[in-house]
Amino acid sequence: ALIEALCTELETAIRDMEKTRHIPGRTGNIAVAKGYLCCVHAKLGEREAARRLYNEAEEYLVATKETKLLEDCQQALRVASPLHS
């Protein structure tokens, strides 16, 4: 229940931020939120959605050295993989 609510909140935040993409720094905010949402989808077992979000966020997260979030995403994706089920 809590994880699903978090998923909804992050999806809503991303949708709202995408409407104001022209604001400086917004692209970074969106990428970070997608990183967190990647982890949430992986936790829910929604691997394809998690992988898509990771792919969308990765370039920014690497460029800005968001090391912890990158590691969290990568770990979540490993745990969500069929080999670890």
| Residue-wise pLDDT tens digits, 63-79 | 999 999 999 999 999 98
Output 12 or 82, whichever has higher pLDDT.
12
Residues 6+ apart with CB under 8 A from 73: 35, 38, 39, 42, 50, 54, 57, 58, 61
What's the Rg (C-alpha) of the chain?
13
In one-letter notation, the amino acid at residue 73 is: C
Residue 54 Ramachandran class (φ > 0 left, ψ -120 to 50 alpha, else beta): alpha
- pTM for this entry: 0.91
